[in-house]
Amino acid sequence: MNRRFFCPAIPSVGEDATLEQSESYHLCKVLRAEIGDNVFLMDGKGVVAEAKIKFIPSKPQRSTLSCVVLSRTAHAPPLNWCSLYISPPKSKVMSQIVRRSVELGIRQIAPVISRYTTAALNEKMMNGLEVDVREAGKQSGNPYFPKINVPTKISNILSKQIDPGFIGIPMHAASRPSPSESSDRIRDCINYLKQIKDSNISLWIGPEGGFSNDETSAILAHGVKPLVVGNHTLRVETAVAACLGAINFMRLF
């Protein structure tokens, strides 16, 4: 069994780790785990461990499973990370965005209330997004689960210094470049990433149709660069994945 499970407090090698009831129930009833099976544990803060199941409760919905830690690795945090500033769409789409962002290595997700934001994230929705973070972290093996900030007005965010980075620009807001112009844009983005390689970076994604003109201008005034991906206007969830993928790729150069 090589599935990963969330364990908020992973002890030292040789000590017992206790899983939360939801994880215990999944292991016992869905995966039919047995004593002696090995599992992998993650705390979302950089620690990953291999453990062996030593106790399975008869009623996992009321009690918890325990296992002994066989090995424990503390992964160093990234030297610089990417924060996603996003105008939240409806909850189901936001759930997809959070999961894809975890897979692609985002370290912070900041919901932004902009002029054209149409969805509000209440406490129940925020709790659901935290579950999405855990599930995506376990699935992808990303040892660092990102923090989700409380929704904040864009004016409050931009009143302070923000990290350099990119803003996704819808294709209709940019003239379609020629092949040579596209190459120049890509080269400029790569050079920009090299210049800020020692800094954390930000990615700004607006609602359907983008941020308003004045909001976009205010973001660009902080030194953030425009990023256009593809030849068509993208849905928000597609734009997030495409832009993060492009940034991760360009950071290899």
pLDDT (0 to 100) of residue 61: 66
More confident residue, 209 or 251: 251
With a cut of 70, say whether residue 176 has pLDDT above it: no
pLDDT (0 to 100) of residue 92: 93
Our measurement of the distance from residue 245's CA atom to the centroid of its chain's CA atoms, rounded to an integer in Å, reads: 12
pLDDT (0 to 100) of residue 51: 96
pLDDT tens string 17-69: 999 888 988 888 888 889 999 999 999 999 999 999 998 887 766 678 889 99
Structure tokens at 7: 């364990």
pLDDT tens string 127-159: 999 999 999 999 999 999 999 999 999 999 999
Taking the C-alpha atoms of residue 191 and residue 208, their distance in angstroms, rounded to an integer, is: 29
Bridge-based pairing of strands 201-205 and 4-6 is unpaired
DSSP string, 154-198: HHHHHTS----EEEE--GGGSPPPPHHHHHHHHHHHHHHHHHTTT
- What is the third-level CATH fold of 82-250? Alpha/beta knot (3.40.1280)
Domain segments of the chain: what residues? 4-74, 82-250
Dihedral in degrees, nearest 10, Cα atoms 135, 138, 144, 147: 0
Task: Tell me the average pLDDT of the chain.
Answer: 91
> pLDDT above 90 covers what percent of the chain?
70
Which burial class, exposed, middle or buried, applies to 125 when counting CB atoms under 10 A from its CB (0-12, 13-18, 19+)? middle
Structure tokens at 232: 């068509």
> pLDDT above 70 covers what percent of the chain?
93
- pTM of the complete model: 0.91
- What is the third-level CATH fold of 4-74? Ribosomal Protein L25; Chain P (2.40.240)
